[in-house]
A and B are shown apart, each in its own frame.
Chain A
Amino acid sequence: MPYYVRKRIINVIISIIMLIILAITLLPVGWMVFSSLKSSTDIAIGRVGLSRNLAGQPVVHWENYVDMWKNVNFGLYLKNSLIICGSTMVLAMIFSTLAAYALSRFRFPGADFFSNTILATQMIPAIMYLIPLYIMFVKFTVLTGIPVKGTFTGIILIYSAFFIPFSIWILRGFFASIPKELEEAALIDGCNPFQVFRHVALPLAMPGIIATGIYVFLTAWDELMFAWVLTNADTMTIPVGIRLFVGNYQNRFDLMMAAATVATLPVVILFFMLQKHIVKGLTAGAVKG
């Protein structure tokens, strides 16, 4: 067998294996959507396919996607999640862009210490913040009368504080990759340092900022532990609220899967829209080492 034929065959075999892996990878997601179209009895008695009506036709329960909004207040949780994650993203990006630029451009005492501290915060278990913050929130309200626990302000502040170190760390790399000569040229042309940042560095770093912002949004969308403890019935986010489909009074796995599909949809859309930016942003740090 000639060399190129053998190579061709090996290539085809690898492609087939790859497609099998791809199918296994996507299967759970398909199962989620499929389960959301079953009836709740189907899941409870462990029927594999869809149930059939008297005429022998399979019944697709599209109404799950209507019922899920009525059964629990899912619309409210979706709105809360969007508000909290959106605000967190904007707030975290503003602060971390400024901090990252400062860290990458200006030498000031303690800059290295600051950078190391940022990395160190990633190592602390979240639960170590959680208990003191919880009690701080309660105490603050008792002392001043201003409610913090269970408000948007409280949870947004916590999330921002949580994501800023990580964002600074990523964005620093982006600002460092912008050639200094461009900024020096702008300075010679008579810009002040702030104008340099506004008109030269910021536009060039925009892809990185978008990627980091999306990453922050995705992670905030995913956060359960803090939201669980620090929100109340009015500010609950999706991860906390979705648990209500299965509880003491009902067992609606079908509606839960429908809600899970709806909760996954925004991030999937966001990801596919900005896929190029995200991939570039995430891999930039790793390849540079």
Chain B
Amino acid sequence: MLLLHIFPIAQGIYMAFLDLNQFTLQRYLLAPFVGLDNFYAVLIDPGSPIRIGLFEAVRNTVIYTVVVTIGTLVVGMIVALMVHRNFWGRSLVRTLFMFPWIVPTYVTGLLWGIMWLREGGLVNVMLVDWLHLMPHKVSWLTGTNTIWAIIIPTIWRFWPLSMLMLLAGLQTIPEELYEAADIDGAGPWRKFWVITWPMLRPVWFILILFGLIYNTYSFNIVIMMFGFGAGFPGEWGDLMMTNIFRNSFQLWNFGTGAAASVILLIVMIMIVNVWYRYFKKAEDM
């Protein structure tokens, strides 16, 4: 525990203050101490090389995290309500819905990389050739389309987990509440917002919390979809993690990479704290 957790983290934080690149790597922790220069390079200095593409990466990460977290929750909720009924073959359907969640994320990245192909990719074939929803084929893996090309597979991969959790939550809601609502003449829409959603609060609290953390640090799907690690995902497909990884292991710029991850960690702690506070306050009401 101590050796493999605390020690590397302490080093990681300390590294953020060093001028560590391929020339000084030999001396590692004895590399020149440059104070806050790395943070200056990441945050303020407009001319430093690490800043290239950093703004795009941050913007994409924010959009990606928010859309994926909400998307998995919404799709998971809808399907959970659908399978929370009595029908023939219920357990089989529930199990089949879990399928995407077992597919490893690197396979998800590879697979959707093929599905987004302009010629012969399943998405274009379906939308253009079969359903005629779009007039011409779209290049999904270039330009602003890229962000959708990474968001949709991630939602596809992770919504079954939300469904499973929400379904387990649904089963704990006592039936009497709905019967009482029926007597009061409430419609299904109102019943959902007054009974179901508030009763599921502990579940979606956890789901959003872990969704925020996990999706901010998302790496596999993007890296496998674009050039299998060698390529650059493009300015609308680059996330923080892939950006830092590229800076560290392809440009050998460890110091600034560490500084960027320290900043990311601080932001993360703040977001989680705010979410906790908000939840505590909502619970007291």
Q: Which chain A residue lies CB-closest to B87? A: A15
**CB-defined contacts of B245 to chain A, threshold 8 Å:** 127, 225
Given contacts A17-B82, A28-B122, A124-B265, contact A139 B172 (CB under 8 A): no
The 21 listed contacts between A and B (C-beta, < 8 Å) are A11-B87, A25-B99, A26-B96, A124-B9, A125-B217, A125-B265, A126-B217, A128-B8, A131-B257, A132-B15, A224-B106, A239-B104, A239-B224, A247-B230, A271-B102, A275-B95, A279-B164, A282-B165, A286-B169, A286-B202, A289-B203
A47 lies within 8 A of B120 (CB): yes
B254: Cβ under 8 A from any A Cβ: yes
Residue in B100, B110, B269 whose beta carbon sits within 8 Å of that of A29 in the complex:
B100
**CB-defined contacts of B112 to chain A, threshold 8 Å:** 28
Residue in A11, A157, A224, A286 whose beta carbon sits within 8 Å of that of B206 in the complex:
A286
A102: Cβ under 8 A from any B Cβ: no
Compute how far the CA of A11 lies from the CA of B82 in the bound complex, rounded to whole angstroms: 9
CB-CB contacts of B84-122 with A at 8 A, as 1s and 0s? 010100000101111110111111001110110111111
Min C-beta distance of B199 to chain A, whole Å: 11
Residue in A128, A221, A279 whose beta carbon sits within 8 Å of that of B262 in the complex:
A128
B179: Cβ under 8 A from any A Cβ: no
Interface of B is mostly: helix
Compute how far the CA of A139 lies from the CA of B165 in the bound complex, rounded to whole angstroms: 44
**CB-defined contacts of A187 to chain B, threshold 8 Å:** none
B186: Cβ under 8 A from any A Cβ: no
Within 9-32 of A, Cβ neighbours of B (below 8 Å) are at: 11, 14-15, 17-18, 21-22, 25-29, 31-32
Chain A residues with CB under 8 Å of chain B are 11, 14-15, 17-18, 21-22, 25-29, 31-32, 35, 42-43, 45-48, 121-133, 135-136, 139, 157-158, 161, 164-165, 218, 221-222, 224-225, 228-229, 238-239, 242-243, 246-247, 253, 256-257, 260, 263-264, 267-268, 271-272, 275, 279, 282-283, 285-289
A242 lies within 8 A of B106 (CB): yes
With A129-B5, A257-B111 known, 16 other A-B pairs at CB within 8 A are A47-B120, A48-B125, A121-B5, A126-B219, A127-B245, A128-B12, A131-B254, A131-B257, A131-B258, A228-B229, A246-B228, A253-B114, A264-B102, A264-B103, A286-B207, A287-B202
B1: Cβ under 8 A from any A Cβ: yes
B28 lies within 8 A of A139 (CB): yes
Min C-beta distance of A219 to chain B, whole Å: 10
B57: Cβ under 8 A from any A Cβ: no
Compute how far the CA of A10 lies from the CA of B168 in the bound complex, rounded to whole angstroms: 24
Residue in A29, A45, A218 whose beta carbon sits within 8 Å of that of B99 in the complex:
A29
A136 lies within 8 A of B97 (CB): no
Chain B residues with CB under 8 Å of chain A are 1, 4-5, 7-9, 11-13, 15, 25, 28, 79, 82-83, 85, 87, 93, 95-100, 102-107, 110-112, 114-115, 117-122, 125, 129, 156, 161, 164-165, 167-169, 172, 202-203, 206-207, 213, 216-217, 219-220, 223-224, 228-230, 241, 244-245, 248-249, 254, 257-258, 261-262, 264-265, 268-269, 272
Min C-beta distance of B88 to chain A, whole Å: 9
Compute how far the CA of A124 lies from the CA of B257 in the bound complex, rounded to whole angstroms: 14
B102 lies within 8 A of A267 (CB): yes
**CB-defined contacts of B122 to chain A, threshold 8 Å:** 27-28, 31
Q: Which chain A residue lies CB-closest to B223? A: A224
Min C-beta distance of B171 to chain A, whole Å: 8
Q: Which chain B residue lies CB-closest to A244? A: B228
**CB-defined contacts of A131 to chain B, threshold 8 Å:** 12, 15, 248, 254, 257-258
**CB-defined contacts of B202 to chain A, threshold 8 Å:** 286-289
A18 lies within 8 A of B83 (CB): yes
Min C-beta distance of A240 to chain B, whole Å: 9
**CB-defined contacts of B261 to chain A, threshold 8 Å:** 125, 127-128
Compute how far the CA of A262 lies from the CA of B104 in the bound complex, rounded to whole angstroms: 11
Residue in B97, B121, B224 whose beta carbon sits within 8 Å of that of A25 in the complex:
B97
Compute how far the CA of A268 lies from the CA of B101 in the bound complex, rounded to whole angstroms: 10
Compute how far the CA of A14 lies from the CA of B100 in the bound complex, rounded to whole angstroms: 22
Q: Which chain B residue lies CB-closest to A136? A: B8
Residue in B11, B95, B103, B168 whose beta carbon sits within 8 Å of that of A272 in the complex:
B95
**CB-defined contacts of B161 to chain A, threshold 8 Å:** 282
**CB-defined contacts of B114 to chain A, threshold 8 Å:** 31-32, 35, 43, 253, 257
